[in-house]
Structures are given as structure tokens and as C-alpha cells.
A and B are shown apart, each in its own frame.
Chain A
Amino acid sequence: MPSIPLAIDTRGIERVYKAKPRPITALAGVDLRVEPGEFFGLLGPNGAGKTTLIKILTTLLLPTAGTAHVFGFDVERETKRIRRIMNIVSGGEQSGYGLLLVREQLWMFSQFYGLGAREGWRRVDELIEAVGLQDQRLQKVSSLSTGQRQKMNMARGLLNDPWILFLDEPTLGLDVSAARAVRTLIREWKGAVVGRTVLLTSHYMAEVEELCDRLAIVDRGRIVAIGTPADLKRRIQRDSIFRLELDRLDGGASSLSGLPGVLKAVTASDGSSTSGGARQRTAVKLVLADDNALGPVVTALGQRGSQIVSLEKSEPTLEEVFVQLVGRSFADDSEDGGSDTDGRGSSSGTDGAMADPSAPPPPTAATERMTEDAPLAATGLPER
């Protein structure tokens, strides 16, 4: 049986937009390979080149240089074949016609993928149920809320049961519950059939981390890192960091420093606390050579009569990975004004161009931060 080609295979993809006063380089040599069945994320700030890459892969745009294949089909020459097996959903998408009912709008799009008239209606009804729009099925598209509209867009994207689904900031502008619903839908659809591939672009790090098997961090038209979320985190955190909360610790945190495999032991910033004035607890941060060093620490604590109240492993967030690798945060890009889309005023969930190959490289020194202060930890996802 012949093997299935890579879902996405790009080699040296470049994209330069003509613009004044000088051309804008949106992609500056992107090599990317995505396996069939992968849930792959492109993470980067506005203007990183994510949407430009998606446009090339969905046959809307030609690369200036390099080659790109989707399931073995060339994006330049075999556009129709690619279009038969893929679909795209963008955040903030306003497609369709406001005077149509939800059901009619989806049926109209089903016709563009060759579903028979009856089969189209049946498929539309199935998807309406799947995305939870039963109550809105006979409502005019123009009267849908943003979240409902995006659910409808998701249903549209699944009409042709694509082998590869491109999602360009699919939760852009959605509230927490609508975004969660969209993520759940994507995950369930992807998981229902082996081989379905998803390429997701987002600048919501937690969203990428939650959904993606692997991801690439894109910045200024280049992929700066690629791997699983865990891989990328490990890349910036070679040591194992644990936070222990103890009922007592005779001799203080420094007394643990001499144990084998313990590189550093300090009282955590929230150090000691009293509960009802009765009992004092101590929080300790341990930096270990590896996870195996934890065993002897626990044993030693037991021997000293310290009881562990809680134990938590601290991991860096993807945001910290980004900061470490790129040298600045997403917020910095926003403050800079970022780059608007592909330099042409596109308005919906797009990015695309900002990299100037002649620009100086970003600073490499990253801020060392204590990982338990991760800003996303408390709220889960940074949705708007």
C-alpha cells in the first residue's frame, strides 16, 4: 500500500509583497513538514507570516520562491486537487449572505463542494446539530451573534469533510464560552477519523498548547522553533523545578542544598504563611538536576519530620518559550503597532507581513523568570 505523503511540505517558502517605499517580506524561507493526522499549530504575533503561509497552502497566494505541497499536491500547479480535500475557516469571518437562513447559507456552500441537493440538506442538518445551532437553523445569518456565526463558519468548513482543515485564528473575538465550544468542536471532529489534519494559526498560546500535537513558533517570516509544546518548554528549561509546601522545615531551605541532585533550594517568594494563626507552613523552590533527584529529597524530608502538604512541578509557559526564543513578547508587538495583515489592509484575522530581512536580529537575551509566576496559570486561556 503506498504511503500517504506529508500533509504539508514546504521548502524554502518565501513571499515578498510589492509595496512602497520598499518590498515587504512576509515569509523568509519557511521549511515545514506536517504529518498526516497531526494537529499542528503556528504560533506567532500579528504580522509574523502565519496567515500568508496559510494563504499559500490554501492556494490563494503564490510563493515568491520555494515549493509547497499539500498531501503531495503542488500549490502552484495542482490547485483543484488541493481544493477538493481541504477547507479553511478564519476568525471573524463574515462570509455568506445575511438575508439567507443559517440552513440555506450552509446548503449554498455545500453545493460548491458537489454535494447533491438532498445530500447537502442532510449534511447541513447534521452539522447544525453537531455545532449546536439547532435553535438558530431557521434564523437569518445577519441576526447571529459573533459566537453563533463562528459556529456556522465551522460547520461550513466541515461540509466537504476535508482531509486537511486550515484554521486561521478561529477563536478571534469570541468570548470564553464560545471559544471553548469552537475548540471542543475542532477537537472532536479531528479525533473522529484517523488521518484528519489540522493546521491552526493563533496568537493565543494556551489555545495552541491545548489543541496542538506540535507547533512552530513563527516570527518575522521565519520559523524560530518547532516541536511539541513539551519539547519547546524543555528547550528553555533544562532543570527540573519543583515547588514544595511543607508543614515545617527545620534548618530552612538551604539545608536541602547539599542533597544529591539538588542544584538550588530557596524559600519561595510566598515563603511562609500561617493558617488561622495556628500553624506555619513553608514553601520551598527546588531546582534539581533532573526529576529523579526528587526521590532522595522526599526521603530526607521524611527523615527530618517534615510533612509535604503540596508538591507541584513548575513548567515554563509557551509565552516564556516565545520570549526566550524571540527576545520579546507578543505584547511588545502590539505596542509597536505590529504589522497590519499582508500590508494591504486586510481586515479579518489576518497577519502576514512585517519581516525585513535587512533588519537587525532581535535581541537574544531573555528575561529569566520564576516559572510559577506564569500569568496564564490562573485563568486558563487568555481569551477575549
Chain B
Amino acid sequence: MSLYVRRGAGSPTDAARWSRRRDVMTNLRSVIGRAYPRVIGSTREPSWVLFEVLLPFLTTSAFVFVYRALDAPTEYVGFVVLGGAMSAFWLNVMWLMAAQLWWEKDNGNLELYFTAPIDLMSILFGMAVGGLLATCFRAVVVLSIGTALYGVTFSVEQWGLLLVVFFLTLSSLYGLGMVLASLFLLWGREAWHLTQLMQEPVYFVSGLNFPVGRLGFVGALAISTIPLAVGLDALRQLAFAGGVASFGTPSPEVEALVLVAMTAIFLFAARFFLRTIERLARREGRLTARGQ
């Protein structure tokens, strides 16, 4: 049957030799391939509107009413709406990114990723890119509804820096997601519990609903370790420039540098952990053992 005949190289030895360019292109295509189900999934499962927009928006609304009742500065409402929008990314990282490889192992995908001629980092990048694109839409929905409903007024003086900080926040956030994905693969079934355990504390110290600088030393510590905290703080400083609220945190430029450092560290760590885990898994037979 001619349908089955598609042979490039004349021998298996030749077929196994790829140019550097082909190797890189295959990894790039894998990023797109793995991102595809994430993006498509948004259109096929509309229930996310309820779970990831409407329900979280109730929490955001509660804080808006609290701030209004306390006669807090008007930009606090904007802080909360912005925090609500950014929480979509955090949810995505924690619930879909971090535990994803572990789930992939359980349904047999991980085995196929490992046997494909690609770097597992490409799969993680694909998951991140897909999740990021899908979540951007959700974040925009939250931001738009919140802004319209509660009359948020933005005051941006440095649009360029705002965009840079936004993308750095996402890159560092998803970099952390990649690290967690690697570690969760190692920790197995505990990953799920760990996700639940981490969610609320990280919510708190990230200052999703208040300026993180109010936490004092703990806030500063959070800023130095959690990309969402530092990113959100920088975004608030840039989106509500000239307001009356005091942040008590480093300038957006400094925080942007912190985000750059975090991105680099997380990506390096993710790669290191993935390689270590693959080696360990191949040695101990964990790679394909399910239900752990």
C-alpha cells in the first residue's frame, strides 16, 4: 500500500542522524503541538467561564465592597481587579501546569513524550504557551468586567515598562510552573495534595487582593521568591501611577530585574530537574509506573 511508504533516509543509521536545525525545528514544532490542546480546550469546554471567571470574580467583588465600605483609596478597587485577573494565571500554573506531567504519566502520554525525539522542556514550554494564551483571554475577561462594573480608572505613564513587566511576570510564573511540574513528577501522588496545600498561602503572600508591601518583612520575602507577588506589585505601581496608596516596595524597574532573574533561575532549574528526573526514572523504572 503506497499510503505507508514515506521513507526519507536510505538506512536507519542515516535516518537517526539529524541536523542541528532539524532538531531545533522539531522541538519548536513540539511546543506548538503541545500548546494546541490547551488552546483548543478553551473552546471545547465552556465550563471554564463559570469556574475560572465567574466564581473567582465573586471573591474579587467581595474585596471591592470591603474597600468601599472602609473608604479606602479608589485605586484599591483597581488593585483587587488587577489581582483577580492575574489570579487566573496562578490558577493555571498551579492546577494545570504543575501537576500536568504527573497526570500525563497516569494516562500514558508521558511515555510517548519520552520516546519522541524531543526535549521534554519543549513539552513543558508547549504546556506553558498554551496555558498562557488560553488564560490571557480569561484574564482579559475578568479585567474588562471588573473595570466596567466597578469603574476602575487606570493611570499608566510607562506603557512599555508595563508590557515588559507583564510578560516577565508570565515568563517567571510559568517558569515556576515548569519547575513544579518536574518536581511533582518526582513526588508522584503527593503532587495533588501539595497543590492544594500551596494555593492559599501563596494567594495570601502574593497580595492578590491588597498591596503586598503591607505585609512588611514577609511581603519582601514573598517578593523575592514568588513571581506573582513581585510581578503584581510592579504592575500595580505602573497601572496606578501617581495614586495616593503607598507600596513600600522596590521600584518597578528593580522588580523587573528580579523577574528577569527569576525567569532565568526557574528555566535553568526546570531543565536541571527534568534531566535529573529522567535519569532517575529510567534507572528506577518510575517513568512509566502509574498510580504513584
A residues touching B (Cβ–Cβ < 8 Å)?
Answer: 2, 4-5, 7, 15, 17-18, 36, 55, 58-62, 71-73, 80-88, 90, 93-97, 99-100, 104, 107-117, 123, 126-127, 129-130, 156, 158, 161, 163-164, 188-189, 192-193, 195, 342, 344-348, 350
Contact = CB atoms under 8 A, between A and B. Distances in A.
27 contacts: A7-B12, A55-B285, A60-B114, A60-B282, A60-B287, A61-B285, A61-B287, A61-B288, A83-B116, A85-B16, A88-B111, A94-B107, A99-B41, A99-B44, A100-B40, A107-B33, A111-B32, A112-B29, A112-B30, A127-B3, A129-B3, A188-B4, A189-B1, A195-B11, A342-B285, A344-B285, A350-B288
Contacts of B3: 126-127, 129-130
Contact of A123 (B6, B107, B114): B6
Contact of B118 (A61, A93, A112): A112
Contacts of B5: 192-193
B7 A193 contact: yes
Residue of B25, B29, B114, B287 with most partner-chain A CB within 10 A:
B29
Contact of B33 (A4, A90, A109, A344): A109
A114 B13 contact: no
Contact of A108 (B25, B36, B114): B36
A93 B11 CA distance: 29
B292 interface: yes
Give the most central of A7, A62, A73, A188: most B CB within 10 Å: A62
Given A60-B115, A109-B112, A192-B1, 15 more contacts: A4-B11, A80-B117, A83-B115, A88-B111, A88-B112, A88-B115, A99-B41, A99-B44, A108-B34, A114-B26, A115-B29, A117-B32, A161-B6, A192-B5, A345-B291
A347 B26 CA distance: 31
A150 to B, nearest CB: 13
Contacts of A85: 12, 15-16
A193 B4 contact: yes
User: Which of the listed residues A2, A87, A346, A350 has the most CB atoms from chain B within 10 Å of its own CB?
Assistant: A346
A110 B33 CA distance: 8
B20 interface: no
A112 B33 contact: yes
A231 B245 CA distance: 87
A347 B37 contact: no
A256 to B, nearest CB: 50
Q: For B22, B25, B108, which residue has the most chain A Cβ atoms within 10 angstroms? A: B108
B193 interface: no
Interface residues of B, number: 51
A97 B37 contact: yes
A100 to B, nearest CB: 6
> Which residue, A2, A58, A60, A107, has most C-beta atoms of chain B within 10 A?
A60
Contacts of A127: 3
B108 A93 contact: yes
Nearest to A84: B117
Contacts of A73: 16
Contact of B12 (A158, A164, A192): A164
B108 A90 contact: yes
A187 to B, nearest CB: 11
A5 B113 CA distance: 26
B26 A62 contact: no
A211 to B, nearest CB: 16
Contacts of B18: 84
B45 A99 contact: yes
B218 interface: no
B71 interface: no
A36 B289 CA distance: 30
Interface in B28-51: 29-30, 32-34, 36-37, 40-41, 44-45
A368 B168 CA distance: 75
Contact of A114 (B25, B44, B114, B115): B25
Contact of A86 (B13, B40, B45, B115): B115
A59 B111 CA distance: 10
A114 B108 contact: no
A188 B1 contact: yes
Contacts of B111: 60, 88, 95
Q: Which of the listed residues B16, B17, B286, B289 has the most CB atoms from chain A within 10 Å of its own CB? A: B16
Nearest to B279: A62
B32 A104 contact: no
Given A86-B115, A130-B1, A111 B13 contact: no
A151 to B, nearest CB: 14
A117 B115 contact: no
Interface string B74-115: 000000000000000000000000000000000111011111
A194 to B, nearest CB: 10
Interface in B229-257: none
Task: Choose among B5, B32, B289 the residue with the greatest number of A CB atoms under 10 Å from its CB.
Answer: B289
B25 to A, nearest CB: 6
B39 to A, nearest CB: 11
Contact of B116 (A4, A112, A158): A112
B284 interface: yes
A113 B26 contact: yes
Contact of A84 (B15, B108, B109, B288): B15
Contacts of B16: 71, 73, 81-82, 84-85
Contacts of A345: 289-292
A344 B289 contact: yes
Nearest to B44: A99
A344 B115 contact: no
Given A17-B285, A112-B116, A117-B29, A95 B109 contact: yes
A65 to B, nearest CB: 13
A17 B289 CA distance: 12
Contact of A346 (B2, B7, B289): B289
